[in-house]
A and B are shown apart, each in its own frame.
Chain A
């Protein structure tokens, strides 16, 4: 049941990304180059619904419908948030793609997005290695 809800939530998310054109790198780049402000409407629309859900639901409902508890967002005021976001923006501006559209876009048959997925997996692995620096990570055991 939980898996079905997660897939359904993902499907709504993915349908929205496709309908809004966010799966097309050209549309994202046209926003970043000030030629089309549509991305602001996408983010604003999504944020409006999410804001209501995040702020109101926990007040009327003690726990999520399928059990567990409501997560707390992990964002923290930290140098890494700033530097990481700056690097993320450079990649976003280079490619016109961010993680959601990179994955969802595969459903529209755009296999070129596998370049982004491959790059992002490599980047996330490097970030894990970077985060582990200083800890005694046995390199020989690395998978």
Chain B
């Protein structure tokens, strides 16, 4: 609790650079000893410029980042902060040359934009609902709903694998399309069910063939319990066909906009 902004020692030393996690209001503090990315992990510091602050730590530019520990460190710092204060999360891997670059080129030059964005996030956090179909259950569902699939399955069964390749592809495509349709339907159903509990939502693209839904919600802190109850009730309804998870509170990764995105490189 007694943390203070520390001046970096030896700003020009070696291959040190400054890793930036996120941007927050200037009146925050961080517990001493909090560690971030890198091996060994750097200590997280607060760099301030007026009513804005950034969470940073020193990194060695000669060492690559991206081990699971780095990824966890980045997200855990942001998420644990987001539970208490508004924070604008930066994408993993944001590195600048010095603290002065953070205070000047980052915080100073974009002050109004960041302040406005932080105000939008005041009292809110992100929650993600992920659903995964129970494979057997969802396939049986499709088989019972679409006669073609059962016929194809009977044709394929016991036959030579190479000889039935086209039939297999045909069957698989019907199944894949059916699961896609179910995903859209169940995603809508979830969105409708929680509509009263959330301020905004973003449907994320599926990352697995059997994803049932992957939606990010921006939620008022005061509505978080209601959201949890609604999702728990749905999880119970869908018990046999979808494994449902509620993840949060998280930093608002899906609800921060980069005004002027850099081209992909």
Query: Are A and B a genuine interacting pair, yes or no?
Result: no
